[in-house]
Amino acid sequence: MYFYAARQPILDENKNLFAYELLFRDSINNVFPNIDGDEATSKMVEASQFNVGVSDFTGNKPAFINFTQETIEQGYPTMLTPEEVVVEVLETVKPGKRLLALIKTLHEKGYTIALDDYEHQNVWAHFFPFIHIIKICWRRTSPEDRLTIKNAIAAFPHIKLLAEKIETYEEYDQAKAFGCELFQGYFFAKPEMMKTKNLSPSQMAMAELLYETSKPELDLESITAVFQRDVSLSYKLLRYANSPIFRRRTEISTIKQALVTLGAGELKRFLGLMFATNVNPDKPTELINLAMARAKFCELTAVRLKTPLDASTAFLTGLLSKIDAILDETLENVLEKLPLAQQIKDPLLTKKGPMAALITLVTLIELAQWGKIGKVMEKLGLEKEQTLKNYNQALAWADEQSKHID
């Protein structure tokens, strides 16, 4: 049995990763159809107990998990520890004496409680002493509604406001100015401002190497020469080749030895990761992890298409699908500067072909848009179970890589 979920990052006001919201299903049959909140939550908790732990899936960050009143009554939140879960009370739950007693008990046990898609009613004031986070859907609430909520909790400074459905920098800026301390949405997946960046010599060297490794036949001498021109890049290559990931028995001490030992596929992965993680050091780590997970998913899935694609090319294309967000610049401008093969550029720019469809697929999985995912999988000739297994594996791989790549 596999553990299926989409995880959506929740960031603090400094864009640091605070937690994930997990959108769970425990089998492929439950991913695409709509099921009620009780069933979804119960299956999620069962999966976390008997398959993979929630903290493993979220990289030891707290997980926001939706609960109905019935699942709270059944004690499902207490099957997870207070450190690994934020009990998110669904917006469909009606406030009442029974719910208040349940929330108070969870609060006394040390659990963090959040109210999802909050719409103010005076009766909720009885809950405020035990509530830690209130989620406001930024796109569904008016400025007047938000002000009403802010005034209602003024006497409870321990309550944090979380703005969700934040999709642009302007919305993030508004929510931050309003007083929100937590943010959820894909605002960081779009450019925050339009500006031109010049790549540093080291970044240009990496771009040149990306081009060299995108050719059908690797020119080892040319690649070695580029590394030899950049001391910092050479150091990082040797550090990576000797990292604990590969469990090598003997140390690799030369650039050529590192290139031969890594091989074409691993070299492409290394260069792609180095470029993404160093091209804009001010970007949130979670955005880099998202790009890395995309890359690994594309690599794992490309070989299973009706017409298989080259895995290492798919890896690099998936990684670069987030390069506009990493550089705060349009994709067209970024790709114009990078000397990349057209087979990488074309899918990203034209949005056409199997590789572009693969990018669309992973984007839909990230957004948990289950209803649309099945159609894209059918078009690509992919099996649902294996595809979502690939996605979970890609998330775990990205988390592990981030520990080893500086």
- CATH number of residue 320's parent domain: 1.10.3210.10
Amino acid sitting at position 59: G
- Residue 82: closest CA among 101, 100, 65: 65
**Structural domains in the chain (count):** 2
Q: What is the mean pLDDT of the segment spanning 301-315?
A: 88
In this prediction, residue 347 has a pLDDT band, given cuts at 50, 70 and 90, of very high
- Residue 198: closest CA among 349, 338, 406, 342: 338
Assigned domain for 194 exists: no
Sign (positive/negative) of CA torsion 312, 313, 318, 320? positive
Question: Are residues 172 and 208 located together in one domain of the fold?
Answer: no
Assigned domain for 196 exists: no
**58: CATH:** 3.20.20.450
Which has the minimum average pLDDT: 5-19, 188-202, 351-365? 188-202
Residue ending a domain, among 148, 163, 189, is 189
Question: Are residues 121 and 260 located together in one domain of the fold?
Answer: no
Contacts of 25 (CB under 8 A, 6+ apart): 4, 5, 31, 35, 40, 43, 44, 370
- Residue 88, pLDDT > 70, answer yes
Question: Are residues 89 and 220 located together in one domain of the fold?
Answer: no
The maximal CA–CA distance of the chain, rounded, in angstroms, is 74
Amino acid sitting at position 188: F
Assigned domain for 331 exists: yes
- Residue 110: closest CA among 92, 134, 83: 83
DSSP sequence for 220-289: HHHHHHHHHT-HHHHHHHHHHHTSTTS--SS---SHHHHHHHHHHHHHHHHHHHHHHHHS-TTS-HHHHH
Question: Are residues 107 and 180 located together in one domain of the fold?
Answer: yes
- Residue 399, pLDDT > 70, answer yes
Domain carrying residue 18: 4-189
Please indicate whether residue 188 or residue 368 has the higher confidence score (pLDDT). 368
